[in-house]
A and B are shown apart, each in its own frame.
Chain A
Amino acid sequence: MVLVMGFEGSANKLGIGIVGDDGTIISNIRHTYITPPGEGFLPKDTAKHHRSHIIALVQRALKESNLSYKDIDCLAYTKGPGMGPPLRSVAVTVRMLSQLWNKPIVAVNHCIAHIEMGRLITGAQDPTVLYVSGGNTQVISYSLNKYRIFGETIDIAVGNCLDRFARVIQIPNDPSPGYNIEQLARKGKNLVELPYLTKGMDVSFSGILSSIELLAKDKEKMKQYTVEDLCYSLQETLFSMLVETAERAMAHCGQKEILAVGGVGCNERLQQMINQMVSQRDGKSFAIDERYCIDNGAMIAWAGYLMYKDGVTTPLDETTTTQRFRTDQVEVTWRD
């Protein structure tokens, strides 16, 4: 069996995964850099976190799966998009291991890895993909060897909007700001009016963030609402926009399936809304849990394998990283 080891570190999650050629996930471990409430993760500190944990994580992955480095056929890493310094820290480690172990490298696009992992886990054939995370918000559909972006955010990502609001209301970043907002939102009752901005299939979130930030800081107005109400309203508004644009893409492309991937994709309220949407149009929705939704090493390994089996490897001097690497820049050789 061909075994690929995947390395992910484009944001605050450092993940190592080992995946077999039949899609078996042999190992998928993660170490997350968690900052104190009210603080985000800075590139420099995140890179430092990755550097200090990556070797131990690789050793643990091999040990847990009872494998030796000799059993690994190929190393796959995230080339981008993501934060520069964390990406580079991981790439440097992969280059070192490649030379030490004498293994080929495959450079992977992070977004493609999310999509392929979602397809692997759920068995979705040709879904409209809603890719929602801290750094990305895209509505994607496959056509003629490319994952084409039908709609996306024109400013900040949906997860970024949630994360930054979590900082404003000073809630913990452990296990993740989005998860904590989700828990608070369950207790919210009153819907606060927020901007609702969709432009065709594109969405805009920055105005919503400004608006809710102002509200949260307004002591007078906050006598009427609770923090739970704000979390609830924020989720309802953001997710309605996402589901609306995803539905528009499904209608436009004539697709029946929808797959949610990325960190925000494991939000249960979002999943519920997607289910409600597809049940009204006789479609099918696919969702995955946090192990595979949130950034992980296995997804990089699997996307790496798909490229590796088609004969793609990245020469050492091209194993660079890039912060700007769009989903539609990758030639998809493994699908019809």
Chain B
Amino acid sequence: MTTLATTNNNEIKSIENITSLPNSVLLSQGAEAKTYKIDLYGIKCIVKERFVKAYRHPTLDQKISGKRILQEVRSLNKCKKNGIDVPALLLVDVPSNRIYMEYIDGITVKQYLYNCFDQSKETSTTTTQTQTEAHQQQIDICAEIGKQIARIHDLNIVHGDLTTSNMLLRNNSKSNIVFIDFGLSYTSTMTEDKAVDMYVLERAFISTHPNSELLFKEILDSYQKNSPSPKVAKAILDKLDQVRLRGRKKLAFG
């Protein structure tokens, strides 16, 4: 992996304060990092800054941030090389825990699904046809999600935080899903790890989009159908059945 910025402060000077840059806007603050949109020499770009967590012990914080920034950059690079749509890496500024990435214009899959859901609910004003369309759109996007995750897993990348808010639609087109936030990702060949990755998505998906068990099944079907290695995908989904039973206090029997 090539780090674009060197750690030597004499060559590339760290920008002390992102907000001092022209046109910088704080887009969101996740659990990990603050995300800014800035104008970098005319390019619209995203800066993801892992700020120091006041609550975390400094040693622990530095260890976790350092590890995750490296994982994120590695995974983004590997995905990009293999044709999976992720934001392009522009610059890695290690001393200040910042990654500069391409700005993706588009809504989150979460928002897209909410929009579909609203369309299908407005029974009084819409026709049955638009309702069916909205439903079909939901199915299409879930199929695409499954297909793309299968490709990511085939590269032995485990995303670690698959949620519908970590998927964007480039130009709002449902056939162009961009995966973001590889901060919890890692490399693994184990079916176990990939199954847990799917389990994380399932939990986030079903708790964010209620009554969506059927849509999630669409993701799983497509995951298996479109996987470059269907046999492995089957094994992962079988493992997922076991992982599901692990949650505490579930009615696992009787």
Contact = CB atoms under 8 A, between A and B. Distances in A.
A290 interface: no
B210 to A, nearest CB: 5
Interface stretch (B23-31, B72-80, B126-134, B137-145): B23-31
Contacts of A272: 55
Interface string B77-106: 000000000000000000000000000000
Q: Is the interface of B mostly helix, strand, loop or mixed?
A: loop
A247 B163 CA distance: 15
Contacts of A136: 248-249
B249 A251 contact: no
Interface in B20-76: 28-32, 51, 53-57, 59-60, 63-64
Contacts of A245: 31
B229 interface: no
A148 interface: yes
A322 to B, nearest CB: 9
A150 B60 contact: no
A81 B249 contact: yes
B54 A276 contact: yes
5 contacts: A150-B207, A277-B54, A280-B53, A324-B251, A326-B250
A216 B80 CA distance: 45
Given A191-B57, A202-B200, A247-B30, 16 more contacts: A136-B249, A143-B210, A149-B203, A150-B203, A155-B246, A193-B63, A199-B196, A200-B163, A236-B57, A248-B31, A276-B53, A276-B55, A281-B29, A323-B249, A324-B250, A324-B251
Q: Is the interface of A mostly helix, strand, loop or mixed?
A: mixed
A277 B55 CA distance: 6
A252 B165 contact: yes
Contacts of B18: none
A248 B30 contact: yes
A7 to B, nearest CB: 20
Given A136-B248, A150-B203, A191 B31 contact: no
A243 B64 CA distance: 14
A280 B28 contact: no
Interface in B95-126: none
Contacts of B184: 198-200
A245 B252 CA distance: 25
- Which of A150, A200, A245, A280 has the largest count of B CB atoms less than 10 A from its CB? A200
Contact of A191 (B60, B161, B250): B60
B161 A200 contact: yes
Determine the interface band of chain B, counting residues with CB < 8 A from chain A: 35 or more
9 A-B pairs with the lowest CB-CB distances in the bound complex, closest first: A200-B200, A248-B31, A273-B55, A247-B31, A276-B55, A276-B54, A148-B207, A324-B249, A251-B30
Determine the interface band of chain A, counting residues with CB < 8 A from chain B: 35 or more
A279 interface: yes
Nearest to A137: B248
Interface in B215-254: 246-252
Interface string A146-173: 1011111111010000000000000000
A193 B54 CA distance: 19
Interface in B135-191: 160-163, 165, 184
B5 interface: no
A82 B212 CA distance: 30
A105 interface: no
B204 A252 contact: yes
Nearest to A190: B59
B247 to A, nearest CB: 7
B60 A236 contact: yes
A39 interface: no
B208 interface: yes
A269 to B, nearest CB: 10
Contacts of A326: 249-250
Contacts of B57: 191, 236, 240
A240 B60 contact: yes
Interface string A197-214: 011111000000000000
A98 interface: no
Nearest to A325: B249
A250 B165 CA distance: 13
A157 B160 CA distance: 21
Contacts of B246: 154-155
A274 B55 contact: yes
B34 to A, nearest CB: 9
Contacts of A148: 207, 210
A164 B33 CA distance: 34
Nearest to A200: B200
A244 interface: yes
A141 interface: yes
Given A143-B207, A149-B207, A152-B247, A200 B60 contact: no
B203 A200 contact: yes
Given A248-B30, A280-B54, A154 B247 contact: yes
Contacts of B196: 199
